[in-house]
Amino acid sequence: MNKERRVRILVAKPGLDGHDRGARIIARTYRDAGFEVVYSGLHQTPEEVVQAAIQEDVDMIGLSSLAGAHLYLLPRVVELLREKNADDIVVCGGGIFPQEDIPKLKDAGIKEVFTPGTPLTEIVDWVRKNVSPRG
């Protein structure tokens, strides 16, 4: 019997951006890799993302951003997780990020950022290496 914990991931679209092609594909990819994925849908405020992450007890939040508001939205999620003592949850970003913004995001606590063209297998491998179900 499977005695191991399953990895649980929240895939979320914060902000007003409605481009969800990537988010929906990554959700399927994570499922096919054996993870349990809670998909939040569009137009989530950072507060809603964090509340869902806590209720669902996820190990990682994948935030999808393609409309340029990442410098506010992604760090804000990290900030709120800290406020709620839930900053053991790994936060990643996926989507469109100018190179010079990536170090800023990492400094703010985003563990990794996946830009366009990253093969799905690479993303899954990263998750397997860096995200362990709460232990």
Partner 1 sequence: MGIAEKIKTGDIRSVARLIRDIDDNILDAREVLKDLYSSTGNAYVIGITGAPGVGKSTLVDQMVNHLRKAGKTVGVLAVDPTSPFSGGAILGDRIRMQRHSMDEGVFIRSMATRGSFGGLTQSTRSSIDVLDAMGKDYVIVETVGVGQDEVDIVRSSDTTIIVLVPGMGDDIQALKAGILEVGDIFVINKADRDGVDKTVSDIRLMIEMGEKRYKNGWKPSILTAQAVFDSGIKELLDEIEKHRLHLSSNKEMLSTLRYEKVKSDLSEMIKDKIVKEILGDIIDSGEFEDAIKSIIDKKTDPYSACDKIISAKLKANVK
Partner 2 sequence: MFNKKSLEDVATEEKQWQKLFKDYTLKAPERLKRFSTVSDKAIKNIYTPLDVEDLDYPKEIAFPGEYPFTRGVQPTMYRGKLWTMRMFAGLGSAKDTNERFHLLVNEGQTGLSTAFDMPTLMGYDTDSPRSRGECGKCGVAIDSLKDMEILFDGLPIDKITTSMTINPAASILWAMYIAMAEKRGINRRIIGGTIQNDMLKEFIAQKTFMCPPKPSMRLITDTVEFGTNEVPRWNTISISGYHIREAGSTAVQELAFTLADGIAYVDAALERGLDIDAFAPRLSFFFNSHLDFFEEIAKFRAARRMWARIMKERFKAKDERSLWLRFHTQTAGCSLTAQQPYNNVIRTSLQALAAVLGGTQSLHTNSLDEVLAIPTEEAATIALRTQQIIAEESGVANTIDPLGGSFFVERLTRDMEEEAFEYIKKIDDMGGMVAAIERNYPQMEIADAAYKYQLQIDSQEKTVVGVNKYISEEDIPVEVLQIDEELEEKQIKWTNEVKNKRDNNRVKEALEKLGEACQGDDNLMPVIIETVKEYATEQEITDIFRDVFGIYRDPGVY
Contacts to partner 2 by CB under 8 A: 15-21, 24-25, 27-28, 39-43, 45, 67-73, 76, 96, 98-100, 115-117, 119-121
Which partner, partner 1, partner 2, none, binds residue 8 by CB below 5 to 8 Å per kind? partner 1
55 binds partner 1 (CB under 8 A): yes
State the binding partner of 52 from partner 2, partner 1, none, CB within 5 to 8 A by kind: partner 1
Is 3 a binder of partner 1 (CB under 8 A)?
yes
Q: Which of 14, 23, 40, 95 binds partner 1 (CB under 8 A)?
A: 40
Residue 117 interface partner, choices partner 1, partner 2, none, CB cut-off 5-8 Å depending on type: partner 2
Q: What is the 3-state secondary structure (H, E, C) of the chain?
A: CCCCCCCEEEEECECCCCCCHHHHHHHHHHHHCCCEEEECCCCECHHHHHHHHHHCCCCEEEEEECCCCHHHHHHHHHHHHHHCCCCCCEEEEEECCCCCHHHHHHHCCCCEEECCCCCHHHHHHHHHHHCCCCC
Give bridge partners of residue 91 from the DSSP assignment: 61
Stretch that binds partner 1, among 15-23, 39-47, 101-109, 110-118 (CB under 8 A): 39-47
Binding residue for partner 1 (CB under 8 A) from 20, 48, 79, 87? 48
